[in-house]
Amino acid sequence: MAKKKVMREMDFSTEEKIKNAARVVFQKKGLAAARTRDIAEEAGVNLALLNYYFRSKEKLFEIIMYETLTNFAKGITGIFNDENTTLEEKIGLLVEKYLEMLTNDPNIPMFILSEIRNRPKDLLEKLPAKSVLSNSVAINQFGEMAAGGEFSEKDIPHLLMNLLGLTVFPFVGKPFIMALGGLDELEFNTLMQERKKMIPLWMKTMMSVK
Amino acid sequence: MAKKKVMREMDFSTEEKIKNAARVVFQKKGLAAARTRDIAEEAGVNLALLNYYFRSKEKLFEIIMYETLTNFAKGITGIFNDENTTLEEKIGLLVEKYLEMLTNDPNIPMFILSEIRNRPKDLLEKLPAKSVLSNSVAINQFGEMAAGGEFSEKDIPHLLMNLLGLTVFPFVGKPFIMALGGLDELEFNTLMQERKKMIPLWMKTMMSVK
DNA sequence: GGTAAATTTATACAAATGATTAAAAAATTT
DNA sequence: AAATTTTTTAATCATTTGTATAAATTTACC
């Protein structure tokens, strides 16, 4: 079995090379379309090493998916549970953070959502921040604003969906949007940067529509 | 080879049964994860009949994808090129139509987008309404409003993305959203019905933020 | 009602693919 | 430096999966 301490002064250990390659290939193509041989090639490594270090393609996938989900959720819970920021500030921070993350890693949302489609039970159980979200400071702040009459209590799920949709959807539909708008990579990324300022404004106005 | 005229008074011809099953399975699981045996079973039909009526899994997939894309795009171009409606009316009609369609067929957006991810070139060429959209009446109306100072010309792509995101994203993230919100099917669908009225209002306010 | 064409079935094949194994090579320990 | 352990390689296996084929069955036609 593999031992971490054995790592020599290579750029990356074989185990790391495989994990990084698996992340790339899985996130780009999804579990079903990803071939173990694709991953081995991407890693520049013998095929049998995948099974040597990770018992199976499934195990390797689970590791990548777990890390991806955890990393993705980490940002939300941190920001949404800060007692010292207003809701408006939280939205700004969240949008800023995720637009930045997704500009660098645009495949993540599609990866997560399309795998959830294929194995909803499996993955949604492992979802961190399920009850965490509903008890978050941010949700309470939404509730307070609703109580204050800014908008209806019934609108809260909609506003959350909108925040998510406005931020994440462009990346889910990236190839579609780029083709439809005749955009290149740079133009798309520029739009995403612009949204850092715009989404918070839009959210603010949507939270005032009665 | 198959001949249409041979159809007896069955509920559905074998060819139709296969196509319907293929639509269900492909839209639910995607091309890579869909097995020809899944489709045959869903259709209640011998496996070899898939290749008898449609030469290969790929051919069958292309038919389903083409029909799905065409049907999906049909609604947009019709509404967006009507000379006799205002932009506000167009948005209302579009949102109404697509929320209705997607409530009945929630897998379509994820199906289209995830297959585009896997074969961007193939599918995006076949995309109807690529140049159609940019020359549409609706886009001109957006331009007029921008000229009138309601919002900036630079905001138009954003507003289009927002319209798409607010309408389509909930379906792309449906399992995720249902789990996070603790919603059942009925509650989710109720939210989608509510959005028929809300999205046009939100769009209206977003088109006034300067 | 018999014959030809079509549909359907059972079976099997071939390629792709995840996984295994035994031997070789490299690294570590003694 | 020898021995032991770890890592890597090449080759192969077993299953899955898309597809083909030949026989059986059903339908259409005269």
Of the candidates A2, A123, A11, which has an alpha carbon nearest to the alpha carbon of residue A51? Answer: A2
Question: Looking at residues A170-180, what average pLDDT do you find?
Answer: 94
pLDDT of res. A135: 87
Question: Please, are residues B116 and B124 in contact by the beta-carbon 8 Å criterion?
Answer: yes
Instruction: State how far the Cα of B144 lies from the Cα of B153, in Å rounded to an integer.
Output: 9
For chain B, what is the largest distance between any 2 Cα atoms, rounded to a whole number of angstroms? 63
CA of B126 to C1' of C5 (A): 37
Residue B179's closest chain A neighbor by CA?
A124
Nucleotides of strand D lying closer than 7 angstroms to a protein CB: 6-11, 16-22, 27-28
Nearest CB to A209; choose among B130, B195, B202: B202
Q: Is B134 on the interface with A (CB under 8 A)?
A: yes
Q: Is B194 on the interface with A (CB under 8 A)?
A: yes
Closest-CA distance, A105 to chain B, in angstroms, reads 14
Angle at CA of residue B163, ends A182 and A69, nearest 5°: 85
In this prediction, residue A210 has a pLDDT band, given cuts at 50, 70 and 90, of low
Q: What string of DSSP letters covers A73-142?
A: HHHHHHHHT-TTS-HHHHHHHHHHHHHHHHHH-TTHHHHHHHHHHH-HHHHHHH-SSHHHHHTSHHHHHH
pLDDT of res. B5: 37
Instruction: State how far the Cα of A186 lies from the Cα of B48, in Å rounded to an integer.
Output: 48
Chain A residues close to B169, C-beta within 8 Å: 161, 164-165, 168-169, 172
Angle at CA of residue B78, ends B73 and B82, nearest 5°: 150
Record the tokens describing residue B70, joined without a space.
Answer: 């065409």
Name the CATH superfamily, with its identifier, for domain A12-55: Homeodomain-like (1.10.10.60)
Of the candidates B157, B149, B141, which has an alpha carbon nearest to the alpha carbon of residue B84? Answer: B141
The contacts of residue B21 (CB under 8 Å, 6+ apart) are: B39, B40, B42, B43, B44, B45
Instruction: State how far the Cα of B196 lies from the Cα of B180, in Å rounded to an integer.
Output: 22
Instruction: State how far the Cα of B122 lies from the Cα of B187, in Å rounded to an integer.
Output: 37
Enumerate the domain spans of chain B. Answer: 11-55, 64-206
Question: Do A158 and B191 count as a contact with CB atoms less than 8 A apart?
Answer: yes
Instruction: State how far the Cα of A94 lies from the Cα of A168, in Å rounded to an integer.
Output: 11
* Summary mean pLDDT of chain A: 90
What is chain B's Cα-based Rg? 20
CA of B18 to C1' of C8 (A): 14
Question: Looking at residues A164-182, what average pLDDT do you find?
Answer: 95
Of the candidates B22, B164, B196, which has an alpha carbon nearest to the alpha carbon of residue B97? Answer: B196
Question: Looking at residues A192-208, what average pLDDT do you find?
Answer: 96
Q: Half-sphere exposure of B19 toward its Cβ, with a 13 Å CA cutoff?
A: 15
Question: 3-class SS at A12?
Answer: coil
A6 touches strand C (CB under 7 A): yes
pLDDT tens sequence for chain B (210 residues): 333 333 333 468 889 999 999 999 999 999 999 999 999 999 999 999 999 999 999 999 999 999 999 999 888 989 999 999 999 999 999 999 999 999 999 999 999 999 999 887 778 877 665 677 888 999 999 999 999 999 999 999 999 999 999 999 999 999 999 988 989 999 999 999 999 999 999 999 999 865
Please give the distance of CA B4 from its chain centroid, rounded to a whole number.
28
Please give the distance of CA B94 from its chain centroid, rounded to a whole number.
12
CA of A60 to C1' of D5 (A): 25
pLDDT of res. A7: 39
pLDDT of res. A128: 59
Instruction: State how far the Cα of A194 lies from the Cα of A186, in Å rounded to an integer.
Output: 12
Question: Do A180 and B127 count as a contact with CB atoms less than 8 A apart?
Answer: yes
| φ/ψ of residue A100, rounded to 5 | -65, -50
Per residue in B83-112, pLDDT (tens digit) is 999 999 999 999 999 999 999 999 999 999
CA of B99 to C1' of C19 (A): 46
Of the candidates B157, B138, B144, which has an alpha carbon nearest to the alpha carbon of residue B81? Answer: B138
Of A93-97, A120-124, B100-104, give the lowest mean pLDDT range. Answer: A120-124
| φ/ψ of residue B208, rounded to 5 | -120, 0
Of the candidates B77, B67, B74, which has an alpha carbon nearest to the alpha carbon of residue B135? Answer: B77
Nearest CB to A32; choose among B30, B208, B209: B30
A154 touches strand C (CB under 7 A): no
| φ/ψ of residue B165, rounded to 5 | -65, -45
CATH topology of domain B11-55: Arc Repressor Mutant, subunit A (1.10.10)
